[in-house]
Amino acid sequence: MTTVTETDRIERSIIINAPRERVWRALSSAEEFGDWFGANLAGQTFAPGQRARGQITACGHEHVFFDVIVERMEAPSVFAYRWHPYAIDPAIDYTQEQPTLVTFTLKDAPDNSTVLTVVESGFDNVPPHRRMEAFRMNNRGWEAQINNIARHVSL
């Protein structure tokens, strides 16, 4: 696993012991994405230009919603969406902020494995009063999430 950190972007990569098509399905199926990510996306689909929204299922964060607009789906290589990072305060209207872009890239690796890279960029456009906390929390979050998807597709 590699980590790249700047102020505007978070990047994580992992080699997953599963074929690219399997990892792609875990990313591109909204319901399956929700299973490993921890969001209730039952009955929803991911499609470019479309919104997907569901309640977070992780303990202590049930008041938070996974809320994205899908930007790109290029099977089986690129899946990207925009969202508001660390949007956890129900009293704040995050729609007034510019969202970050989350891009998952898949590449074949030896032995029928997959290199999964996730990049979240655009933190420099998050309002200054919450930029560092959003960056710090998502930095930790992506570390956990790439391990979640690796476990999920290896089952």
Q: Set out the domains of the chain in order of their start, with CATH numbers.
A: 2-31+72-154 (3.30.530.20)
Give the mean pLDDT of the chain: 94
Mean pLDDT of the region 119-124: 97
Helix (H) or strand (E) holding 137: helix 128-154
pLDDT of residue 1: 57
Residue 61 pLDDT level (bands cut at 50, 70, 90): confident
pLDDT for 87: 94
Q: Is 70 exceeded by the pLDDT of residue 66?
A: yes
Confidence bin at 60 (pLDDT 50/70/90)? confident
Question: What letter does residue 94 receive in the DSSP assignment?
Answer: G
Q: Side by side, which strands form the sheet with 2-5? A: 2-5, 9-16, 113-121, 100-109, 78-83, 65-74, 51-55
Distance of alpha carbon 95 from alpha carbon 7, whole angstroms: 22
Convert the pLDDT of each residue in 1-46 to its tens digit.
555 446 899 999 999 999 999 999 999 999 999 999 999 999 999 9
